[in-house]
Amino acid sequence: MAKSRDLTYSQALNELEKIVAEIESEEVDVDVLAEKIKRASFLIRFCKGKLRTAEDEVKKVLSEMEEGPVEEAAGEEGDGY
């Protein structure tokens, strides 16, 4: 199982869809069912949380962008604005 840090929306959605299909199949063992429901609820919380925090994303993008604007500014000066 992927850790939340590495988990993407599409991985989470795919896994969740798989789990729901499994637990609705009626063939699932009781102990397994409890485990699956636990995992499903983790994935749901993960997705809903990520939609509303995005803290990591902000930090990542901003740290990467720190070099960006400098290059950009230098480029514009070079173009003789």
Query: In one letter, which amino acid is 7?
Result: L
Alpha-carbon distance of 42 to 4, in angstroms, equals 9
Q: According to the binding rule CB under 8 A, does residue 68 interact with other proteins?
A: yes
Residue from the set 2, 32, 65, 70 that interacts with other proteins by CB under 8 A: 65
Report in angstroms how near the CB of residue 2 gets to other proteins at its nearest: 16
Alpha-carbon distance of 40 to 46, in angstroms, equals 10
Report in angstroms how near the CB of residue 65 gets to other proteins at its nearest: 6
Residue from the set 2, 57, 70, 74 that interacts with other proteins by CB under 8 A: 57
Query: In one letter, which amino acid is 6?
Result: D
